[in-house]
Amino acid sequence: MKIWLCAKTLRKVSQDCLRRVDAWETLLGGFITQLTAALVGVSESSKSRFVESVKPIVQRPYFDDVGPRNVTAVVGQSALLNCRVKHPGDRRVSWMRKRDLHILTSDIHTYTGDARFSVRHPEHSDDWDLRIAYVQKRDAGVYECQVNTEPKINLAITLNVEDAQATISGPPEVYVKKGSTISLTCSVNVHSTPPSSVLWYHGASVVDFDSPRGGISLETEKTEAGTTSKLLVTKALLSDSGNYTCMPSNASPASAVVHVLNGEHPAAMQTSRAGVRRQMALLATFSLLVVTSVR
């Protein structure tokens, strides 16, 4: 009824229009209640039948579009696709995967062998949210929340899935004095499926914690926010300089470059390097301007 009214009056079906019609129906419902009460001499059963007969018109299901239409999840985490249906009555609410037209859930029942899919429906609520645990790249795509009205109504939600990304705290280049401690902290923001391993590379070689050099250790901590892996290299040598890469088993790697300095203060060296980079950038810009003016 509401969809028909919106289509006829505004030539389009929008959530704003549906909400307005819902308000009209509320007023109409009050009018019907007053009308039935005024029917003197009519039996209570007849009044009840009259009210029940108009309910399908007065309270037709519609989507209360409160959730995002685009949802982004990280591989290994959980995704929640929101669907709120007002006045569902005895209609059936289902979730369908658009890619293969597979019905995943219907009411509170699941119709897929993939146990990662389930519907979240608190008792007496209007929410029928699709939950996908341990999201994989293949789960990306469009999902539809459907209500079996005539005609059927549906709400499409797009799920985007991104790879987990490791990050190393601090600047991309680290300066330490010879003999001090190199400390690099790598974080992985996947908590539902923490990485089974986090490898550290120095250049192209895996960091050997049992090497004759000694003084190399690893501290790993798993929390609700994710996993952190801290690499500690004590009594830094000049040979410890180079590129360090943190490579979790379930996330994209992250890298940082370590400079071990022999005598010069790290802060001064960092300022000097930054100044050189700025000068090189200015020189490149000036060269480009000269070439352009000559042409």
Domains of the chain: 2-58 (no CATH), 62-162 (2.60.40.10), 166-275 (2.60.40.10)
Mapped onto helix, strand or coil, the DSSP state of residue 164 is coil
**Interatomic CA distance for residues 54 and 96, integer angstroms:** 31
Of 39-43, 94-98, 124-128, 259-263, the poorest mean pLDDT is in 39-43
Question: Which pLDDT belongs to residue 291?
Answer: 38
Please indicate whether residue 267 or residue 78 has the higher confidence score (pLDDT): 78
Which pLDDT band, with edges at 50, 70 and 90, does 200 fall under?
very high
Q: Residue 106: is its pLDDT beyond 50? A: yes
Question: Which pLDDT belongs to residue 108?
Answer: 93
β-sheet with 173-177: strand ranges across: 173-177, 254-261, 242-248, 198-202, 205-206
Strands 109-110 and 102-106: antiparallel
Burial class (CB in 10 A: 0-12, 13-18, 19+), 267: exposed
As a whole-number percent, the residues of the chain with pLDDT over 90 amount to: 53
Of 84-93, 192-201, 231-240, the poorest mean pLDDT is in 192-201
pTM as predicted: 0.55
- Mean pLDDT of all residues in 201-213: 94
**What mean pLDDT, rounded, does the chain reach?**
80
Query: For 213-228, what is each residue's pLDDT tens digit?
Result: 999 999 999 887 788 9
Which pLDDT band, with edges at 50, 70 and 90, does 117 fall under?
very high
Question: Which pLDDT belongs to residue 30?
Answer: 52
Q: Residue 38: is its pLDDT beyond 80? A: no
- Counted residue by residue, the chain has a size of 295
- Mean pLDDT of all residues in 38-55: 60
Question: Which pLDDT belongs to residue 118?
Answer: 97
Please indicate whether residue 221 or residue 196 has the higher confidence score (pLDDT): 221
- Mean pLDDT of all residues in 243-249: 95
**Interatomic CA distance for residues 248 and 217, integer angstroms:** 17
Helix (H) or strand (E) holding 26: helix 15-38
Question: Which pLDDT belongs to residue 266?
Answer: 58
Question: Which pLDDT belongs to residue 195?
Answer: 80
Question: Which pLDDT belongs to residue 166?
Answer: 93
Q: Residue 262: is its pLDDT beyond 60? A: yes
Most confident of 32-41, 64-73, 139-148, 258-267: 139-148
- Mean pLDDT of all residues in 47-53: 60
